[in-house]
Each structure stands twice: as structure tokens, then as C-alpha cells.
Amino acid sequence: MRVFDFSNQTEEKVNPECTYTTFRSNEEISTPEHPIFVLDNKEKEHAHHSTGFFTNPTKRTAFEFKEENSKESYTADILKVDSRFVGLVRWLGDNHINVRLSGENTAEGYAVYKIREIAFGGGTKLSAEDGFLQFMIDRLLASDAPEEEAEDEDKEELGDDMKITSLQSITDFLTCAGKTLPDNIRLWARRNLAVARSHEVSPEEKRHAQRALSIMMNIQWKSNYFEAIDPEYARQVLDEELYGMERVKQRIIETIIQINRTHTLPAYGLLLVGPAGTGKSQIAYAVARILKLPWTTLDMSSINDPEQLTGSSRIYANAKPGIIMEAFSAARESNLVFIINELDKAASSKGSGNPADVLLTLLDNLGFTDNYMECMVPTGGVYPIATANNKDQISAPLMSRFAVIDIPDYTKEEKMIIFTKFSLPKVLRRMGLREGECIVTPEAVEAVVDLYAHTTGIRDLEQAAEHIAANALYRIEVNKVENVTFDVAMVKELFE
């Protein structure tokens, strides 16, 4: 095991004695029970908040405690370190960065669960940007094992809003957490960093390399392991979003149970096929909510050039990543749901290929290559859910990547229930009306449904509910009535 040498001394080096052991942890939140590292406290108990820096003044890996307004200092050996943080602790020591520790004295030692960068004694912060250290800690806590200081020192300090953009922060990130990246991305990052630093390439090439690095480093590359999902919770979400459709719900629950058994995503995504307005996109959003993953949409009807998906080459001054890579960047993690709307309307461009065919590499879970990034992006954590009105217009290779679920249109009885229990109450809440102020008789509800008997889905019914509620609100405000009851005659008059 490698040993830290934080002395930075030029005199003859002595092989330091390693005082710590490493331990594996996958905890996403550091606490005294699950610390980042532990210091020896047998000779002296340490304060809850302590300042100093990592050092090796003699030959032992240690932390040197030094209060801001005191010349006195003392050291304590490092006893054990979370294996994810070995590189970070070494970087802090190599750069002699002043930090404030938050810890708790336990039987095992001083358990440190927070590290903040500070500046005291005339020193300055040495990391690339404010928030970088917290960004690093958050990133490492989210990985699998291998702002100004507030008055309230226990107040949470988050690094989620931090973005790696400068070459220095990119370099620091690769030093501290390079091992958390997939192997091919780590090698790609080193090559692009060399380009960004080179004096032998054009400023445009350097700018593109730095931009690509910033995009890639700000994505949390997670493992393909998925935690079990409670089927009852999944059913609750589906019932909240959808009325009826028991067969569709059953198919989705089956997918959830499969994930629970394998802890990986299914080999095939979902293709929801049905008439317009039947809630296909709503089902897709519900699945993303159940999986607790960020989601992004690809509207294939508006994409007529494959380059929109794959990005443009860096040889162009205005080059940029494609929509797929931008989705990873916006989500800031590699595990997400791609909702591909109107897959059957993907159109061929003027001789440059079919955008739908570009999706094949995304759907194969073998990795997707963006022309701008020039790197294969792992897609094992991507779950695609596509929607279509007509599956006959989808190519056979693309269809073979999906498990098809046919979404039937609603029956007349179902539409009446949806209008009464879902559409109208939702509109009334949005307009600030109580249910007793706008009443629609059962016969009037049937009349509304009959008006749209030749249309599919429930969008027209939702618009009808909006019209009825708006008319009721008008009568209440203008005519000063307490409530409005719509019968068949009033409905027909309203929709003439």
C-alpha cells in the first residue's frame, strides 16, 4: 500500500511509516459512524471543529493541528481512511492546504466526517476554485469504493452547484478522483488535457479540448448497479398518474421486479404504442419517477439531421456536442431515462442519413460516441422509453431494441370516470374553484364524452373541462351566483 509523504522537504527522504489502514465504504453521507478518516486521540481529545493541515513532519502519516490565533501545534496519526478518499487526502497534504475538520471523539479515535478548506495565518486557498473541495467530497461520496464559512459551523456546505471548468480544477479532479472514471474516459481525459495545455496546437483546438473535458468531468459516472425498488411504491405512482390500463401497469411492475432481482436495467427499453392523447408520455415520466432517475426527452419529429444527435467534429470553429451528450451533461450523471417521443416520425434528412438509426448505438448499451467528444460514452445506465402512434413506420432493427407495450384507447365509461374524477377536479383546483361551485351532472358528463366520441385519448376532454370551469368561474364572478350546475342543455349550448 502506498504511503503518504507530505513533508515536501528536499533533504534525503526517509521511508515513512504508514500509520493508517484503509476501509471500504459505499455510504453516500459521511457521519461520525461512517467517517472519511479517523485520527488518533489517545493522548488528547480533539475539538469538534479543528484546523490544520495534513503533514508528515517526521516519518509518520499524520495531521497537524494548528489553531488560527496560536503558534502552538501538535500532531495526531492517521489511523484509517475511507479508500475512496486516499487520493484526496494525499492531494491536500501535497499542496499543504489549510482545512477545518469536523469530527467526534469515539472509542476508535477522532472520527472526521467533514473537511472544509480555509485560509488563515496570511495563507490563501490553494485549490483551483471556491467550492472545489466540497465538490470533490460530494463526488467521492457518490462513488463506489475501488462558499464562505458560515457562522454556524455545522451548517451543510454543498458542492452540487460547483462546475469544473478551469484547467487547474480539471487537473486537480483527475489527481483526486481520476480512478472513479471509467478506464477509457480516464485515458481520454489525459490525452485531451495534454492538448489543452499544449503550445503546439491552435487556440481553437485547446478551447475545444478544455470544453470537452469540462463536460465529461462534470458528469457523475455511476456504476450500473441499481438498488431494489418497492413494487408497492411503483404501483402507487402508476395509480396516481394513470386510470385503468391494468395490463400496462402489470408490464411495468414486471420490469421493476426484474430490476430488483438482477440489480441491472433490462436489456430492452419500453416502446409505448397507441393513439394520440392516451398518456404515453405520462407513462414514461411515471417510470422515470419510479426509477428515481433524471430524465431527458428526444423529440424525433423535430430532429431531421443525425448530426443533431451525434454532435459536430472539432475541426469546425462552431462545433458542439450533440443532443444526447448534452442530455448527459444536463443530468450531470450517467444513469438516466431517455424518453424518445414520436419515434415513428423520425425523418431522413437530405441524404445525410436517418436520425433514428443513430439511436441504435445508444440502445445497444455498448457505448455511444459523440463526434465532438471523440470518446465512447458508457450507456449501461441508460433506460430508453419510446413513444409512437404507429409502429409500422419504425424500422425492424430499431423495433428489436424495445419491448413493445400497446396502449389502447379509453372506453366511453373510462372517459366518463376520468373526466369526473381526474380532469375536472384538476382544473377546478388550478382555477381556485371548489367542487361545489361547479357541478356537472352525470348526463352532462356523458354528453361531453359523446361530443368527442370520434377523437382518441383524453386531451379533448381536458380542454372541455377547462372550458366548463372557466364558464362557471365567469358566472360566479359576473352574475354573483354561488354555484353553477351544468346539465345536458347547458353543455350543448356551451360547445355549439
Is residue 80 a contact partner of residue 23, using CB atoms and an 8 Å limit? Answer: yes
pLDDT of residue 178: 87
- In the chain, what are the domain boundaries? 21-141, 181-217, 231-406, 412-494
- pLDDT score, position 121: 54
pLDDT of residue 149: 40
10-residue mean pLDDT series, the chain (496 residues): 42 60 90 93 91 69 80 86 89 84 93 86 52 85 66 49 79 88 92 93 92 92 88 90 84 92 90 86 90 89 85 90 91 90 71 73 83 91 90 86 88 89 90 89 93 85 92 92 92 87
What's the confidence (pLDDT) of residue 350?
46
Burial letters for 335-355: b for 16+ Cβ neighbours within 10 Å, e otherwise?
Answer: bbbbbbbbbbbbeeeeeeeeb
The CATH architecture annotation of domain 412-494 reads Orthogonal Bundle (1.10)
Q: What is the pLDDT of residue 120?
A: 64
Asked whether the CA dihedral 148, 153, 159, 160 is positive or negative, the reply is: negative
CA 415 to chain centre: 36
Residue 31: phi and psi, rounded to 5, are -140, 170
CA distance 490 to 2: 83
Quote the CA–CA distance of 349 and 66 in Å, as a whole number. 66
Please tell me whether the overall predicted TM-score, pTM, comes out greater than 0.85 for this model: no
Identify the CATH assignment for 231-406 out of 3.40.50.150, 3.40.640.10, 3.40.50.300, 3.90.180.10.
3.40.50.300
Distance of alpha carbon 227 from alpha carbon 284, whole angstroms: 20
Listed in sequence order, the residues at least 6 apart from 160 whose beta carbon sits closer than 8 Å to its beta carbon are 135, 138
Dist CA 491 CA 465 (whole Å): 11
